[in-house]
Amino acid sequence: MKVPFADLHLQYLSLKEEIDAAIASVIRSSAFIRGPFVQTFEDEFSAAVGAPYCISCANGTDSLFIAMRALGVRPGDEVITTAHSWISTTETISQAGGNVVFCDTDALTHTIDPVQIEAKITARTVGIIPVHLYGQPADMTAIMAIARKHGLWVIEDCAQSHLAEIDGQIVGSFGDVASYSFYPGKNLGAMGDAGAITCKDKSLADRMAMFARHGGLSKGDHQIEGINSRLDGLQAAILSVKLPRLREWTAKRQALARRYMSALKDIDWVELPETAAGRSHVYHLFVIKHERRDALAAHLKHAGIQTVVNYPISLPFLPAYERLGHRPEDFPNAFGNQSKILSIPIFPEMTDAQLLYVADTIRGFAE
């Protein structure tokens, strides 16, 4: 049996008629840039996540950058974020002119440890970017309390956490801005690059839209110098077909995760993902931990099972951040986990037989 890490083609086949029709209607109306398909998706996504404003843009990395430029990050400003994420979270801080300040993850959830945030706050700190990594929300209650106490803005990086919740409240609704990616492999994925920013504040929404659209809200209007970051009509129409399925796909991911948990629970030499109380995990990734991770990955690969490491080197230890001079003991959790984490297949179209095969193959690693 072969188990891919994800199967985007199967997802397309399940919606083929609708997606093909949506693409054809964009082509028929030549609504390639902005226009009705983009507007419709922005409205639908706003409604789906319960956010008053949604600004679509070219990708999830741009959404972080646009948010920081609109929030007014200035040279020398410090932004605190997690040591364990995809580099978009931090390269955009630098691109916006700020300085990246890393904080370790907690011992269980791979998300930023709020207990360690306050010690990192200085007179130059302007904001915090928690990442709901792998699909599990960060501890937003604690993070928002710190942000309010110190007058800091918060951008939630929701690229991996569409529809995740904390005590029934959806992620992205806690902070000032939520940033989304619709990269094809994300829980809601386009057929190319796509992203969006949501927020509650009209003037912030206008500043973000203005910056993303050459510094103006209408053609010919340029209040400031901006960038060109647009969702195109084809991607918007495809996302509008997929969005109504997101809830069902999320439930499927959660059911698969429960199935993995019960199939693997008696294997005491594999650490299973942990979810903190009150948080709903949407399992963008199902990440296990093992001391001999590379050998386990090779064993699975040999059996036809694809795995990925998200991410093999924590951000502070990448060559890109060598200038900060960090050592492993600065971020013991992120550093300790980077050699153990292994993402095993989880995707809505995954069959029970595939899941049991993965679980059995993991079990066979000990023998």
Ligand X SMILES: *Cc1c(COP(=O)(O)O)cnc(C)c1O
* Helix H or strand E encompassing 361: helix 352-364
Of 56 and 333, which has the nearer Cβ to ligand X?
56
Give the shortest CB-2-to-ligand X separation in angstroms. 25
Of 186 and 326, which has the nearer Cβ to ligand X?
186
Three-state SS across 35-88? CHHHHHHHHHHHHHHCCCEEEEECCHHHHHHHHHHHHCCCCCCEEEEECCCCCH
Of 61 and 125, which has the nearer Cβ to ligand X?
61
Torsion on CA atoms 181, 183, 187, 189, rounded to nearest 10: 110
* Residue 308 to residue 263: CA distance in whole angstroms: 20
Question: DSSP class of residue 196?
Answer: E
Give the shortest CB-284-to-ligand X separation in angstroms. 8
* Residue 144 to residue 241: CA distance in whole angstroms: 34
Of 91 and 349, which has the nearer Cβ to ligand X?
91
* Residue 70 to residue 54: CA distance in whole angstroms: 14
Give the shortest CB-86-to-ligand X separation in angstroms. 4
Scanning the structure block, which residue is given the tokens 């094809």? 184
Name which of 343, 283, 279 is nearest 106 in CA terms: 279
Give the shortest CB-194-to-ligand X separation in angstroms. 7
Give the shortest CB-156-to-ligand X separation in angstroms. 10
Of 214 and 284, which has the nearer Cβ to ligand X?
284
Of 175 and 296, which has the nearer Cβ to ligand X?
175
Question: DSSP class of residue 3?
Answer: B
**Which residue type is seen at 131?**
V
Give the shortest CB-263-to-ligand X separation in angstroms. 26
341-344 and 286-289 as β-strands: parallel, antiparallel, unpaired? Answer: antiparallel
Q: Are 143 and 117 in contact (CB under 8 A)?
A: yes
Of 139 and 270, which has the nearer Cβ to ligand X?
139
125-129 and 78-82 as β-strands: parallel, antiparallel, unpaired? Answer: parallel
Question: DSSP class of residue 341?
Answer: E
Give the shortest CB-313-to-ligand X separation in angstroms. 15
Give the shortest CB-63-to-ligand X separation in angstroms. 8
Binding site for ligand X (CB under 6 A): 59-61, 85-86, 88-89, 131, 157, 159-160, 181, 183, 193, 195
Of 59 and 109, which has the nearer Cβ to ligand X?
59
Q: Which residue is nearest to ligand X (CB)?
A: 60
Q: Are 315 and 83 in contact (CB under 8 A)?
A: yes
